[in-house]
Amino acid sequence: MTAGVLLTGCNTDQISLATNAKANQPVPPKLVAAMAEKDMDLQSPILVRLFKQEAELEVWKQTRSGKFALLKTYPICRWSGDLGPKVREGDRQAPEGFYSINPSQMNPQSAYYLSFNTGYPNAFDKALGRTGSQLMVHGDCSSRGCYAMTDEQIAEIYSLGRESFFGGQKAFQLQAYPFKMTPVNMARHRNNPNMPFWKMIKEGYDHFEVTRQEPKVDFCEKKYVFDAAKPADAKRDPVFDASAKCPAYVIPEEIAEAVRGKQAKDETEYARLVAKGTPVARMNTGIDGGMNKVFAAKIPEGSTGLSEGAEGTTLQMLAMAKAPGTIPGHVNPPKPNLDAVASAPAPQEEPVVAVPATSTRVASAQPAEKSQEKSGGFFSNLGRKMGLGTADTTATTPPPQATASVAPAHTTTTPTTAASRLKAAVTRFVPGHDKSRDATKDAAKEAPKPAIATKPAEPAKPDTRLAQTRPALKPSVSDGAGEATQIMGAAPVVQSNSFDSRFGAVK
């Protein structure tokens, strides 16, 4: 009982969780009370689901009936990349798929307050030759390939995972999706080249929806297999290999029948939505990821990017609401690549393209490259004014400091078609843009343009793995903390039944 359980950190250091006060913060009383109301035990198993388009993280917890129920939904402060799976190291993509989180992936010494490793790449990703490392769910609201929460949020999520391990759960499942796999979302994204992959992981989504049980995940023939069991006449369980031929297996009939019923209903609704002309979602025009609307409302020129706000709710309506945690000053909201928008063809109705249902290979649409050559051009200068960067790395360290300025220059008259497309892009993507000013700007467009200075980037944060250099422990978001300013609170009392004392026998 004297030996602590060692957990691997972002920098692969072996640190004892029991010695870290941040990692031992108790589950907030309000969340414990919510568990009691929902017939859940503090240390019962959990399951996590992530949705990029909705910018939400859900924590599900097993009830005393044995099924999972939703405990709490957390708005995601920042995620990066595009809708679609991660394919290679440095593509800025946050992963999608099914992953398993065990105690060794919990990182109490993260440079981003607290974190846990998603486990990317899994066996399916490796079978397709996908690369990437250190893809996390962490705090600090800063992402270049991860899912970033506020420090207060990750402290709460971390405590829920820790307690599930104390209760005997060997690993909790993380399900990451581009969006909630509903008929309307499938219809809106029907032209996306990632649709074959999304249909495949929707199988697992449907298994969970109809059973409210964690689906068993296996891989064979470079595809996912859910809830596979041995045939009635088999003497042993099937052995799966992600790159090999699938062994003989069956799906329990009660699960298979429920899934077929749900999928038939979804397909009927999908066909109805397509037949009535549900608009196809626009492809990424260079926007890097998304942010939940509750955070975008707190940031000057904030934008939800590729995430979506609820209908009828504007950022202005949310500006006075309380933020679920501290938003750091260096947060970088999603912004459009105006050079890419202005050079793109004029908007037109997108044709519907049939996607083969049998293929599981993914054609990933990569974000457009940002031009570095037009240093004095109008679009490039405006892009710099918007604060667009060129970094394209996985988030393992905070971004470096960078400053830039643009020399005074007179711009030439922009062609009519490009100008109209740029106005449309600014109107669509830049919060607070006032169309009524366009006439005044048109009248003055012949005048020489003043120099445009790019706003310097925030100073780099020290890349340290020492918990002592971080701010004091964060108050719980469940206990009402989380104004849009820095909140400093006293360190909570560490429970006597710490991770070290309760988990020592495992070693």
What are the Cα distances from residue 242, in Å, to 124, 127, 227, 362, 501? Answer: 6, 6, 15, 16, 38
What are the Cα distances from residue 253, in Å, to 67, 227, 232, 236, 290? Answer: 18, 11, 12, 19, 39
- The helix (run of H) or strand (run of E) holding residue 382 is helix 378-385
Type of residue numbered 274: V
DSSP string, 127-150: HTT------EEESTT--SSSEE--
Type of residue numbered 446: E
- The helix (run of H) or strand (run of E) holding residue 253 is helix 253-275
Scan for tokens 């490039």, then name that residue.
380
DSSP string, 403-435: -------PPPPPPHHHHHHHHHHHHHHSTT--G
Nearest to 98 by CA among 235, 242, 239: 242
**Active site residues per annotation:** 138, 146
Helices first, then strands: H and E counts in the chain: 13, 14
Between strands 115-117 and 56-62, the pairing is unpaired
Nearest to 399 by CA among 389, 412, 408, 407: 389
Q: Can you tell me the distance from the alpha carbon of 336 to that of 284, in angstroms, rounded to the nearest whole number?
A: 9
Q: Can you tell me the distance from the alpha carbon of 395 to that of 16, in angstroms, rounded to the nearest whole number?
A: 23
The three-point CA angle 136-105-57 to 5° equals: 45
